[in-house]
Amino acid sequence: MSEPIYVVGHQQPDTDTICSALAYARLRKNKSEDVVPARAGALNPETQFVLDRWDAEVPLLLDDAADEQLILVDHNEYSQTVTGTEHAEIVEIIDHHRIGDIETSEPILFRNEPVGSTATILTQLFDDANETITTQTAGLLLSGILSDTVVLRSPTTTDRDRTVAGRLADIAGVDYETYGKDLLSQKSKIGEKSPREMVLSDFKEFDFDAHQVGIGQIETVEPSVVLGQQETVLEAMDDVATERDYAVFLLLVTDLLEEDSTALVAGPEIDPIEEGLDTTFTDQESFLPGVMSRKKQVVPFLEEAFNSTGP
């Protein structure tokens, strides 16, 4: 028997990453290929809610990808991949982020589009393959779009996301505003987490010109739950930044209702953050009006600021 190909998303998996892995494995399996959905870590409460809601299986936990064949979804940089990916064979990538540092020895299919979610691209792939999207698959893909775009409100949202979401909602038989609100309330379930779990739950690591930068985001309808325990949250961030030797650890506490963010920062290199985001931190805190998207409104500006400081 030949070895399976694993479809896997990024570490600290979110709903788009998990639902994209499930949907793409399903599409490839329809062509009788041995493709298995996998995940790089524990499910967050929102994603658990989605899998329960649509009665979908939990993807297999892949803790070491060395020597495996992988399809990467929803990411394309080594700092975000499952352990061992440097020694795996990457056979395909489907993503909607900046092009990172993944290298392959053979030419592969690399589909990257500037849309609001990987689920949006996957819907297109089902159409291209003339495959019917079932109620369950529509529910999963819709969840990926609504989660990544904050129910089509994030500045990353494109017209295509809106059109696709409308269509998937019809197939799934839900009103996407109502269903989206249910999702957002799950996203906000942070009260029972420790500060460390909170700051690392939606977390990505970047290599900006040899500076290791961690960027976490907490999207919530109740930012006061996080900001009310700011001292312990900052302690947790300081610990992580020291342990992992980060240049900086930035946390965005995004208010989903007001559509802005409060940024908290830990680690030695705060200057490029202030420069990149055109802000000033007081007591490791600053307010970022209108900022909702890590990918679009934060990462490119920090990368540019760190590039201009040199390694």
* Binding interface with Mn ion (CB under 5 A): 16, 74, 117-118, 148
How much of the chain is in helix, strand and coil states, percent to nearest 5? 40, 20, 40
Q: Which residues of 189-216 are buried (b: 16+ CB within 10 A; e: fewer)?
A: ebeebebeebbbbbbbbbbbbebbbbbb
Q: Is the separation of the CB atoms in 200 and 216 below 8 Å? A: yes
| Cβ 173 to Mn ion shortest distance, Å | 24
Q: Which is nearer to Mn ion, 13 or 195 (CB)?
A: 13
Nearer to Mn ion, 120 or 220 (CB): 120
Which residues neighbour 134 within 8 Å (Cβ) at sequence distance 6 or greater? Answer: 171
Return the structure tokens found at 279: 């802000």
* Cβ pair 275, 245 in contact under 8 A: no
Provide, rounded to whole angstroms, the least separation between the CB of residue 150 and Mn ion: 12
CB of 16 to Mn ion, least distance (A): 3
- Our CB check for Mn ion shows the closer of 68 and 74 to be 74
Closest distance of CB 112 from Mn ion, Å: 12
Question: Order of strands across the sheet with 89-95?
Answer: 60-61, 35-39, 5-8, 69-73, 89-95, 109-112
Contact, 115 vs 161, CB < 8 A?
yes
Q: Which helix (H) or strand (E) holds 168?
A: helix 159-172
Smallest distance, Å, CB 210 to Mn ion? 26
Choice between 19 and 248, CB closer to Mn ion? 19
Instruction: Specify the residue, 17 or 286, whose C-beta has the smaller distance to Mn ion.
Output: 17
Q: How far is the CB of 101 from Mn ion (least distance, A)?
A: 18
Show the tokens assigned to 295.
């990918």
- Which residue, 148 or 219, is less far from Mn ion as judged by CB? 148
User: Looking at beta carbons only, is 217 or 286 nearer to Mn ion?
Assistant: 217
Residue with the shortest CB distance to Mn ion: 16
> Helix 118-128 crosses helix 135-148 at what angle (to 10 degrees)?
150
Smallest separation, CB 118 to Mn ion (Å): 5
